[in-house]
Structure 1
Amino acid sequence: MKKRILKSPANRLVFIALFSLMAMGACKSKKKVVAETPPPAPVEQVEAPATPSTPQPSAEEVAVGKLENYFNSVANSNNVQAANSTIQEALSMFSNQETPVLIVIHEESGIKDYDEPTTISKYLNYLKDTKKNLNFISDIRLDNSGRVSELELRRK
């Protein structure tokens, strides 16, 4: 026969008292250890000499920025003469006035559906007439002379 140690109320009381003393003792020792650790030494930060390592934008990025500005200027122009002068400036960036402009209307699993192909001249006049620039440049191709040879647009 086994004797049960915790059967009597006195034994239970002693067991609970020992357990609580051990628990409190463990907490106090952790607090002492934490309080006795010295603060970390200040770390000196060595400043590296500033080198101008900003990457230069590529020719495509520069062309995209200029074209987006031209498209917004044509769409937001107040009169036809201002729009026409902006269109002439924009056309100087293209290899010719018949440069193809493709507008992506849907893409699924890498397959793109395009709206009816147009030319840059027609697209700029469309912007002038509608006064809305609803597309952004998603792909641009430059020829050897740095002029735009193909433009792909997407809906904003």
Structure 2
Amino acid sequence: MMLIGLLALGACKSKKKVVEAAPAPVPVEEPAPAPRPAAPTPSAEEVAAGKLEGYFNSIVNAPNVNSANNTIREALGMFSNPNTPVLIVIHEESGIKDYDEPTTIDRYLNYLKDTKKNLNFISDIRLDGSGRVTELELRRR
């Protein structure tokens, strides 16, 4: 009986199918990600406009008059002189602009300090060869 049992066990093992090993998948090379284009470097005008917007907001949000005056002095350093013209566009049609009464940067910065409201944004800025602002054009938000 034992002999039959051993033969039966041996027969079962020999009848098992041999599973062939599946071929290993061929690695697919993924293309390298395209290099990101370099972020365009901002122009001198864009950098100056960003700094001025920061100064305008700092003046409006200054906790006291001394802090606002210090920020005004710092901002005036960006201009060719304290009498640099500031033009505020109040209307534009067919490329023709109507301006509010012209003012100077010194007056405009003090206006921001007094009113604590920054209702305008910089629409055009002109710089001289040394990077100082020679003219500023603003528009209503």
* Fold in common (TM above 0.5): yes
| Structure with higher RCO (Cα < 8 A, 6+ apart) | 2
Alignment-derived partner of residue 119 in structure 2: 134
Measured after TM superposition, the shift of residue 78 of structure 1 is 1.3
Alignment-derived partner of residue 73 in structure 2: 88
Q: Secondary structure at the match of 2:134?
A: strand
Alignment-derived partner of residue 123 in structure 1: 108
Alignment-derived partner of residue 19 in structure 2: none
Alignment-derived partner of residue 107 in structure 1: 92
Alpha-carbon deviations, 1:49-107, whole Å to 9, x = none?
63662221110010000000000110111100000000001000000000000000000
Q: How many residues align?
A: 114
State the superposition RMSD in angstroms. Answer: 1.6
Q: Which runs of 5+ in 1 are unaligned?
A: 1-42
Measured after TM superposition, the shift of residue 141 of structure 1 is 0.2
Q: Secondary structure at the match of 1:85?
A: helix
Alignment-derived partner of residue 146 in structure 1: 131
Q: Secondary structure at the match of 2:101?
A: coil
In the alignment, the residues of structure 1 paired with residue 48 and residue 37 of structure 2 have an alpha-carbon distance, to the nearest angstrom, of 23
**Which of the two has greater helix per residue?**
1
Alignment-derived partner of residue 54 in structure 2: 69
In the alignment, the residues of structure 1 paired with residue 138 and residue 56 of structure 2 have an alpha-carbon distance, to the nearest angstrom, of 12
Among 57, 64, 72, the alignment partner of 2:42 is: 57
Alignment-derived partner of residue 155 in structure 1: 140
In the alignment, the residues of structure 2 paired with residue 146 and residue 86 of structure 1 have an alpha-carbon distance, to the nearest angstrom, of 19
Q: Which runs of 5+ in 2 are unaligned?
A: 1-27
